[in-house]
Homo-oligomer: A and B are copies of this chain.
Amino acid sequence: LTSIVLIHPRNPLNIGAVARAMSNFGFFDLRLVAPYDLAYREAKSAVKSHYVLENSRVFATTAEAIGDASLVVGTASLGHRDLHLPLERLETGALRIRQHAGKVALIFGSEKFGLSNEDLSHCHALIRIPTRDEHESMNLAQAVAICCYELIRDDAALPTALPTRTQVEAADLQRFEAGLLQALELSGYVQERGRETTSRKLRSVFRRLPLTTRELVVFSGMVRQILWKLKSK
């Protein structure tokens, strides 16, 4: 029920990337307000153009593009002056959109200028993606992708407790595994042919085990001793 509205988009790559991100997350209603003609045509003729872009609609004004929506949400940044509404974080804005019963339009300004005061005055709520103050400005398609993701995000997907995993550093584990593999080679357990596969299997196993750093030190000592014996024969 949420449409994505791009105001004056200028970059064909961005328009295509927006359409792809929307499709990734199940949003199919793309609207463009007065897009740069060439950009729109280029985006549509791109090889990977798909359903969302093919079915996008062009409007002359913002007012027309959001006409059927009962909740209009604009994306803005802290740099915007004279906002008539509080600027909310995306987490809050997305909750508002999910809870809304009717049609929603989520509008994005042009890459260069963002939303105009005219565009902003159509909005019932304003949101910002929580980027750093020092580097606020996001790529348009990435901003759309993140908003779509937040809208379908599922807290219920979270488990109550996570299983414990190893806390050791990857390089220590790698040294241990390299030693173990060498021991297996010297002992004849592994042939040249099967070396890669065994190496990978060892790695997978040890990434799953909740080894402590202390335990790894002990195991590494064992392998070193075995290696020394194998080599001194």
Task: List the B side residues contacting A24 at CB < 8 Å.
Answer: 129, 131-132, 135-138, 142
Least CB distance, A215 to chain B, in whole angstroms: 14
- Known A124-B166, A146-B146, A158-B92; judge A139-B139 contact (CB<8 A): no
Name A165's closest neighbour in chain B (CB-CB): B124
Task: List the B side residues contacting A149 at CB < 8 Å.
Answer: 129-130, 146, 149-150
Contacting pair A84 B208 (CB below 8 A): yes
| Chain A interface residue bracket vs B | 35 or more
Name A26's closest neighbour in chain B (CB-CB): B132
A146–B141 Cα distance when bound, in Å, is: 11
Least CB distance, A73 to chain B, in whole angstroms: 10
Name A178's closest neighbour in chain B (CB-CB): B63
- Known A131-B25, A157-B92, A207-B85; judge A70-B170 contact (CB<8 A): yes
Interface of A toward B, CB cutoff 8 Å? 13, 17, 20-21, 23-26, 63, 66-72, 84-85, 89, 91-92, 95-96, 99, 101-103, 105, 117-118, 120-125, 129-132, 135-139, 141-142, 145-146, 149-150, 152-155, 157-159, 162, 165-171, 174, 196, 200-201, 203-204, 207-208
